[in-house]
């Protein structure tokens, strides 16, 4: 799991499978059809046992945040909710979602506030649950600033160690470290990973439990966490005293599935 109460996907997550059959181009063309749009208005507004409707799970368009556009003309809308964009256009939110897919010629990156903070805390307390970021590695510079990622890209692990371990005491620090390292390595059957033992790859993170903190938010996601001093990957220093060394010793990690 990741330690947030919102998911990150696209506007495709609020539309049924039949309208997306045949790939992106077929989907966009269907959205231009008035009859298709009328059917979608009805289906998206109602719960369904046949498909997972993220729009309905969110409850309303104010809980759908549009964070990534390809079309430069639409980029000023980055970080606005579907409700806000619909209001700016004087249109219905569902119609606005269909129009954005057409105009951006993409699924449009979105964050859906569909989860429960109470449930996040409950999951953290389960001993068999490990933790992830579910995101690519980014930097607060250059092309990365052209869209707003989910804050998990910058803060997922620091959020666990700072907020849920240190501040709220949901699980002990040593248990959090186990479930960040040894448990996922065991689950994926990654040889010589996840533990500080002779013969293992020297993947080491040195951090300050008293100060480690995430800073990325849904409004301002491009913010590094703080409190990590040193990082070694395969025995090579990648972060030293908080600064990147420029080293890139990472490698593809294979599990038994490769065979």
Quote the CA–CA distance of 87 and 220 in Å, as a whole number: 22
- Give Cα separations from 189 to 2, 184, 186, 198, 204 (angstroms): 21, 8, 5, 18, 19
Choice between 96 and 255, residue whose per-residue pLDDT is larger: 96
Handedness of CA 97, 16, 108, 99 (dihedral sign): negative
pLDDT of residue 257: 84
Position 49 pLDDT exceeds 80: no
pLDDT tens figures, 154-204? 999 999 999 999 999 999 999 999 999 999 999 999 999 999 999 999 999
Quote the CA–CA distance of 229 and 132 in Å, as a whole number: 20
Position 19 pLDDT exceeds 80: yes
Quote the CA–CA distance of 77 and 73 in Å, as a whole number: 9
- Token pair 């639409």 in the structure block, residue: 74
Burial group, residue 57, by CB count within 10 angstroms (0-12, 13-18, 19+) = middle
Query: With a threshold of 0.75, does the pTM exceed it?
Result: yes
- Give Cα separations from 23 to 33, 52, 169, 171, 200 (angstroms): 16, 18, 46, 44, 44
Mean pLDDT value across residues 220-246: 96
Domain ranges of the chain: 7-112, 117-250
Helical axes 24-31 vs 93-104, angle rounded to 10°: 130
Q: Which residues pair with 236 in a beta bridge?
A: 233
Residues in the chain: 259
pLDDT of residue 86: 98
Mean pLDDT computed over every residue of the chain: 95
Quote the CA–CA distance of 78 and 69 in Å, as a whole number: 7
pLDDT of residue 63: 95
Considering only CA atoms, which of 236, 137, 197 is closest in space to residue 186? 197
Print the SS3 string covering 231-258: EEECCEEEEECCEECCCCCCCCCCCHHH
The pairing of beta strand 236-240 with beta strand 228-233: antiparallel
**Quick one: what percent of the chain has pLDDT higher than 90?**
88
- Residue 37 CB contacts under 8 Å (≥ 6 apart), including other chains: 31, 95, 98
Mean pLDDT value across residues 224-253: 96
Local structure of residue 140 (DSSP, 8 states): S
């Amino acid at each position: 799991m990741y330690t947030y109460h919102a998911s990150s996907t696209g506007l495709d997550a609020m539309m049924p499978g039949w309208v997306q059959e045949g790939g992106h181009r077929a989907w966009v063309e269907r959205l231009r059809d008035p009859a298709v749009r009328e059917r979608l208005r009805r289906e998206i507004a109602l719960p369904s046992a046949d498909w997972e409707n993220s729009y309905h799970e969110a409850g309303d368009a104010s809980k759908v945040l549009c964070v990534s556009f390809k079309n430069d003309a639409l980029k000023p809308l980055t970080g606005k909710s579907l409700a806000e964009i619909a209001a700016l256009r004087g249109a219905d939110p569902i119609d606005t979602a269909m129009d954005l897919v057409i105009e951006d010629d993409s699924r449009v990156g979105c964050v859906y506030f569909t989860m429960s903070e109470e449930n996040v805390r409950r999951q953290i307390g389960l001993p068999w649950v490990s933790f992830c970021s579910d995101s690519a590695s980014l930097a607060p510079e250059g092309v990365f600033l052209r869209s707003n990622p989910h804050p998990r890209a910058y803060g997922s692990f620091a959020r666990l160690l700072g907020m849920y371990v240190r501040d709220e005491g949901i699980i002990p620090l040593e248990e959090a470290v186990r479930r960040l390292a040894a448990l996922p390595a065991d689950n994926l059957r990654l040889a010589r990973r996840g533990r500080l033992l002779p013969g293992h790859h020297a993947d080491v993170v040195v951090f300050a439990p008293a100060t480690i903190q995430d800073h990325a938010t849904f409004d301002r996601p491009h913010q590094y966490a703080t409190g990590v001093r040193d990082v070694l990957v395969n025995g090579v220093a990648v972060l030293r005293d908080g600064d990147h060394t420029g080293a890139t010793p990472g490698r593809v990690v294979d599990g038994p599935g490769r065979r």
